Amino acid sequence: MDLLDNTVRPYAWGSTTAIPTLLGTEPTGEPQAEMWMGAHPGAPSRTGRGTLAEVIDADPEKELGTASAAKFGPRLPFLLKLLAAGAPLSLQVHPDLAQAKAGYEDEERRGVPLDAPHRNYKDANHKPELICALTEFDGLCGFRAPAETADLLDGLGIASLKPYVDLLRAHPEDAALREVLTAILTADPEEMSRTVTETAAACDRLGGAYAPYAGIAHHYPGDPGVLAALLLNHVRLQPGEALFLGAGIPHAYLDGLGVEIMANSDNVLRCGLTPKHVDVPELLRIVRFEAGDPGILRPEASPDGEEVYDTPIDEFRLSRYVLPEGSGVHDLTLPTPQILLCTAGTVRAGEHELAPGRSVFVPAGEKAGVSGAGTLFRATVLV
């Protein structure tokens, strides 16, 4: 097992206190948004044998196992994170695998630099993801039913929102959502800024169901993404609950600390709540214009105490163990690569004692005995 030394990313939306509190360190006053655990080239975890990317590159079959290397190639197919949102992240969607491959090949063929601000596809992979709350966690996920959104917007009493209300009530569901999102993202910027300002004031005044959107508007005044956010379901996760975000589902995280796992990709198409590039035509091609319940996930317990968050993809599998005092040694050995992350208490993994926020990489087939009293998340793959 390799004890991991992980990079914390200081994105502006990050909480200044959540990750330091978990780690038991003093806050620096700067945002600490994400702690990355894995072999992503942007910030690979460090081990006593070099970076995790270097360790895997040196002998992929040994570190990943024959089956994982054959199915996903000579790389760790997931990235595990601690994510601490102190402000809303950008409203975004991710492509499916076919869309990502086609988009990446197109931008490569056109010679768009990988670091260009208008580049959409940084790789040819999809980016399904799962967020599991460690604290109460707020987010937006998927479209609300158009009729319900029409009622919500109508309740604000703002004349410039009436065309959107009428569209939401007059069309079939997919057409209504497409037309309204298109109208929001292509409106005259000055007119939209005025509408968003009025909307923010009304949301602030009315509170209740409008309160989350007032908070978003506070962070992004005048941004059309505020109106786009009003089309989406607001979700509040309790600790241990999770959301799975598949391709084409618009979403944003608003506030809270969680464990996030995703396929190893950087492909993001933004809808708003960001100063970054918004490619409206490509976004509209990727978004799935379907309303529905966000589908809060709760873990399914197995007889050995593993609690699994069931998702429909193979690049990652997230589960957790809540280990009571005196429960003995649990054998977590697998023929696939694993990252084990402690989030509460103290857990011994092999020769390493893990306090909250500490993690280890377990090569495929490596003996993985764990004990102690605490909460341990396990990230691996399905082969």
Which residues are catalytically annotated? Answer: 270
C-alpha 280/C-alpha 87 separation (Å) is 24
Yes or no: say if 300 and 329 are a contact pair by the CB < 8 Å rule. Answer: no
Q: If you write DSSP's letter for every residue of 239-273 in order, what string do you get?
A: TT-EEEE-TT--EEEEEEEEEEEEES----EEEES
* Cβ burial, residue 237 (10 Å; 0-12/13-18/19+): buried
C-alpha 326/C-alpha 247 separation (Å) is 42
Q: Which amino acid is at 307?
A: E
Instruction: Tell me which H or E stretch contains 343.
Output: strand 338-349
Counting every residue written for the chain, the total comes to: 383
C-alpha 371/C-alpha 46 separation (Å) is 24
Token pair listed for 203: 């949301």
State how far the alpha carbon of 186 is from the alpha carbons of 190, 197, 283, 352, in Å. Answer: 12, 17, 12, 54
Q: Helix 162-170 to helix 173-186 angle, to the nearest 10 degrees? A: 160
List the one residue out of 90, 286, 89 whose CA is nearest residue 178. Answer: 286
State how far the alpha carbon of 294 is from the alpha carbons of 179, 231, 256, in Å. Answer: 22, 13, 18
State how far the alpha carbon of 130 is from the alpha carbons of 215, 242, 247, 257, 315, in Å. Answer: 24, 7, 12, 13, 12
C-alpha 257/C-alpha 277 separation (Å) is 27
